[in-house]
Structures are given as structure tokens and as C-alpha cells.
Amino acid sequence: MLISATTKLYYQNPYWRECTATVLHQVTDEFQKNWVAFDQTIFYPTGGGQPHDTGYIGQHKVLDVEDREGVVWHQIENPLHSDQKQIQMSIDWDRRFDHMQQHAGQHILSAAFAEEYRASTIGFHLGQETCTIDLDIKELTEEMAKEVEAYANQIVFENRDIIARFVHEEELEKYPLRKKPTVEEDIRLVIIPDFDYNPCGGTHPNRTGEVGPILILQWEKHKGHIRLEFTVGKRTVERLHDKHALLRQVSRLLQTNEAGLQEALLRLHTEQKELADELLQVKEALFSHEKDMLIRQAEQLADRMLITQRYEERPLSELQKIAQLITGQEANAIVLLITGGTKQQFVCACGKEADVEMNTWVKRILPRVEGKGGGNALIAQGGAASTYNPDQIHTYAREELQILLEK
Ligand SMILES: [Zn+2]
């Protein structure tokens, strides 16, 4: 089946939003997708880093557009009626114009980098929210980025012509191209006179003023190059609006204005650090107080001091801290601290003269509470299955300790 190449109206005039076309062919592929080709189209197919257009063909939503050997195929949800020959098509103009802005903005930004820092662009991605280019350059400073951004926007403000033209291969040497065309015939150059000459098959506005503001967002090292993220046109305006709304909100929260934000945040940071230090001191005083109380409540067991306590919910780290405070002070103390709550955990600790191995004790408790744990001779800890409460753990632990001490 030979189908004649589609007349690509988006090259004749990228501003056309509607047209009438004649149906030439319709196929359903192996994935049950319906594709239609026409004599002409205003739908731009995915290619050259620019996503395809969306819109309507008759009543049918266009889901995808592909160029296969010069024929532009449109994917629609349901096949067209076989007697339908002439049909109206319209593209989603907001989406197309956004792509025109991003695409042309990329040309300008890439040209600005090439001119200012001889940094060529080796990759381009037009994303849903932002775009990226990969620059063949090792380092990029804030100063360089600002300078290139200003230069690119200057080209926008000067509202220069953007000319797209098909040329023959022999003509190419007349133009100072930054990169070689990837095709040998139907070579299309996108020219911003005295600034940029680029082989490109995408859609662009007629003048740089329509491209709108170019904003560099951030950059990072990527495979030995710099990957730079930016927005163009309406996306830039929307992004800046949202950013300023956020800044106003944050300023209100911190009871300052934008200029005072940095200072207010630094102050908050310092205050928070001071509070954390203070909290630590208070906690340490509390732990020391708890240690004294627990020592007073100690019972005697086989010439040792036994201290046990159950808590409703407490971090294991606090139990360890308290246990160590006790055993640091009382050399013959054996301590068992248990917490319930979201996790059933326990700590076993002893002083240097207690003469029992805590890891051995914990190892004996664990099978009885279906738990896991470990430690050394002076301090060990474990976690029990959630079906065991602190009282049960306490009972089993005491039984096992009794056995250990009798050995
Ligand atoms: Zn382009």
C-alpha cells in the first residue's frame, strides 16, 4: 500500500488552528489502535524533541500523532465512518503554542550559551512542567547562568524574526550552523538572523517577542555535562506567580516581608537549636531523677539489686539511657525496663559486679515472647511479638533470671 506524503500545513503556517482534510486511509494496528491519514494536516507529530499536538478530528479526540515516512498518522479512539471523506480538524492551541514557546526558547538559550561560553547543547527534553538542555560544559556558576539568561531574554525583547525555511544540501554552507542536520533531504533551517541558524523540524513563533520570558531554574552535573532546567513564556509567568504567592504566604507566617525572610529563617533556626539543647538538658535532669527513684524502689535478689519498671509507651533509646545511668552508679544492679505501645521492647542491663550476662538472659527470654534482639554482657535489648504485653514479658524475664542466678 503506497500512500502519498501528507501536506504538512503546520510548516506552511504554524498559527493555523483548524482545517478541512480528506481521509486517505484508515488502519487498526495490532494493539487495536485506530490510525487515520489525510491529504493534509495541522497536527504536529512527535519529533525533534517536540511532543505531538492534541485536538479533535470531527468529534474524535486525537490521542497520538506520528510521522511514518512522510505520512502523518493520527490515532483516534474509534474509527471514522467509511463514507466520511471530508472532515474538520482542530488542534489544542494552548498546548501547541506552549510547545512553540518552549521550543523556540530552547533555540535562543542554546545559542546564548554557545555564543557566551562556547557551550554546545547535546540534548533537549521538553517536559510537562519544565524543559532541560544538556550543555557540553564542565562547570556553570550562578554568575554565568544569570549572564546567559539576560542575553537570551535580550534577544526576546528585541522581537527579532524567526524564519523557518527548507533548503537544499548545497545551500547549507552559506549558513553558520551550530550542528549538522540529521536528515539529508527536506532540510529545514530555523533562523534568527545574526544570532542562530539551526536545522530543526519543530514549530516556532514568527518573532522572538512571542517566545516570552526565559527563566533558568537550576542545573546539576549529569554524565560529565551540565543538565540545565528552564521554563519559557507562559510557563515562566505562571511559575513566578506561584512562587511569589508562596513567598507572600511564608512571609505572613514568619511575620516579616520578603526582604526579612532570610533573617527570620536564620533566627528560627538558631532558636530551634537553642530549644533542642534546652530540651536535652531537661531530659537529662529527668532521667537522673528517674534513676534515683528507681534505685530507691530496688528489691534484693541473690545479693544483687534488682530494678524493674514497665512503661506504657517510651522510646527504647530512653530506656537504654536510664538503665545505663543506674548501672553506672550501682555496680551490683540488674535492671529490666519494659515498654508497651506500638512496639513491645525491653532492655536488660547490669553493673560490673552483678556477675550475670545480659545477652545470655535476653537470649533466654526471646523464644518465650517470639522476639528478636541481642547485645553484650552488660547491656542487651529485645523486641517481643505484639501479642505479648509488658506484664507477660516481665514475668518471663524474671523466671529466666531466677534460673540464670541459680546456675
Ligand atoms: Zn526548533
Q: pLDDT, tens digit, for every residue of 47-89?
A: 988 999 999 999 999 999 999 999 999 999 989 988 888 999 9
**Spacing, Cα 164 to ligand 1 middle (Å):** 9
For residue 65, give the C-alpha cell: 500523532
Task: Compute the average pLDDT of residues 399-403.
Answer: 95
* pTM of the predicted model over 0.75: no
Q: Residue 2: its pLDDT value, please?
A: 67
Q: What is the pLDDT of residue 291?
A: 97
Distance from residue 22's CA to the centre of ligand 1 (Å): 28
| Spatial contact of 407 and 355, defined as CB atoms under 8 Å apart | no
Task: Give 169's pLDDT tier (boundaries 50, 70, 90).
Answer: confident
Ligand 1 centre and the CA of 198: distance in Å?
Answer: 7
Q: Greater confidence, 179 or 148?
A: 148
Q: Which residues contact 169 (CB under 8 A, 6 or more apart)?
A: 184, 185, 187
More confident residue, 366 or 173: 366
Q: What's the chain's length in residues?
A: 407
What are the extents of the domains in the chain? 7-91, 97-241, 279-406
What's the gap in Å between 75 CA and the centre of ligand 1?
A: 24
Q: How far is the CA of 201 from the centre of ligand 1 (A)?
A: 6
Q: What is the rounded average pLDDT of the residues 243-259?
A: 92
Please report the pLDDT score of residue 49 as a whole number.
86
Pick the CATH number of 279-406 from 3.30.70.100, 3.10.310.40, 3.40.1450.10, 3.40.50.150: 3.10.310.40
CATH topology for the 97-241 domain: Threonyl-tRNA Synthetase; Chain A, domain 2 (3.30.980)
For residue 305, the surrounding DSSP H or E stretch is strand 304-311
Q: What distance in angstroms lies between residue 190's CA and the mean position of ligand 1's atoms?
A: 7
Residue 271's CB is within 10 A of a number of other CB atoms, namely: 10
Q: Report whether pLDDT(185) > 90.
A: no
For residue 175, name the pLDDT band (cuts at 50, 70, 90): confident
Q: Which three cell numbers, joined as nine digits, stand for 284?
A: 537529662
Nearest CA-CA partner of 252 in 241, 242, 264: 264
Task: Give the CA angle between residues 347, 348, 352 to the nearest 5°.
Answer: 135
CATH class of 7-91: mainly beta
| Average pLDDT across the chain, whole number | 94
Identify the three-state secondary structure at position 354: coil
**pLDDT above 70: percentage of residues in the chain:** 99
At 127, list the grid cell. 517536559
User: Which distant-in-sequence residues (6+ apart) come within 8 Å of 201 by Cβ?
Assistant: 47, 48, 183, 188
Answer whether residue 281 shows pLDDT above 90: yes
Task: Answer yes or no: is pLDDT of 203 > 80.
Answer: yes
State CA 343 to chain mean position distance.
33
Q: What is the mean pLDDT of residues 116-123?
A: 94
pLDDT of amino acid 1 = 58
pLDDT at 177: 79
Tell me how far the alpha carbon of residue 81 lies from the centroid of ligand 1, in angstroms.
Answer: 36
Ligand 1 geometric centre to CA of 89 (Å): 24
Is the model's pLDDT at 182 over the cut of 70? yes
Distance, CA 64 to ligand 1 centroid (Å)? 20
The pLDDT, as a whole number, for residue 191 is 93
Q: Following CA atoms 144, 145, 148, 149 in sequence, which dihedral angle do they give, to the nearest 10 degrees?
A: -150
Minimum mean pLDDT among 12-26, 181-195, 389-403: which range?
Answer: 181-195
Nearest to 111 by CA among 156, 47, 50: 156
Residue-wise pLDDT tens digits, 370-386 = 999 999 999 999 999 99
